[in-house]
Amino acid sequence: MKDLTEVLDILKRAQLLTISSLAADGSPQSALVGFAETPEAGIIFYTPDSSRKYSNLKRDPRTSVVIGGDSMVTLQYEGTASELSGAELDRSKEVYFAKLPFARGYANLPGSTFFKITPTWLRLTDLNQRPARTQEYEV
């Protein structure tokens, strides 16, 4: 596996990402969510169990996300989402709330769920350079 230092730097700086999932009829659905990262470039995010993305990811865990854009550096990210439980959920909540402390007020309500996305493919694009620099990672 390639060095993910640059990817982790982007994940650490950002607080929001756009996540896409597939509805039962195959149509794409996207949402903006807050997230935290793991040392392995995993993504932890919260969603209510009443959300479309919750139903979509429980049925089909394949997902993609996009992070960035404001600094002309973006990260495209594909992976597999899994709902967290037990000790992994407890550890992940600590990581999530350390990065997004304001989220405690709603992410601990009944029906709150946390997912972790494990990356399978990443593409970092830096449009500040000419020509643009692109780096792909198979994870």
| Per-residue confidence (pLDDT) for residue 3, from 0 to 100 | 85
What is the CATH number assigned to the segment(s) 5-138? Answer: 2.30.110.10
pTM beyond 0.75: the answer is yes
Rounded Cα distance between 51 and 45, Å, is 13
Domain boundaries, the chain: 5-138
Question: How distant, in Å, are the alpha carbons of 12, 82, 88, 91, 133 from that of 112?
Answer: 23, 14, 15, 15, 39
Rounded to 5 degrees, φ, ψ at 92 are: -70, -35
Predicted confidence pLDDT, tens digits, the chain (139 residues): 468 999 999 999 999 999 999 999 999 999 999 999 999 999 999 999 999 999 999 999 999 999 987 788 999 999 999 999 999 999 999 999 999 999 998 888 899 999 999 999 999 999 988 899 999 998 8
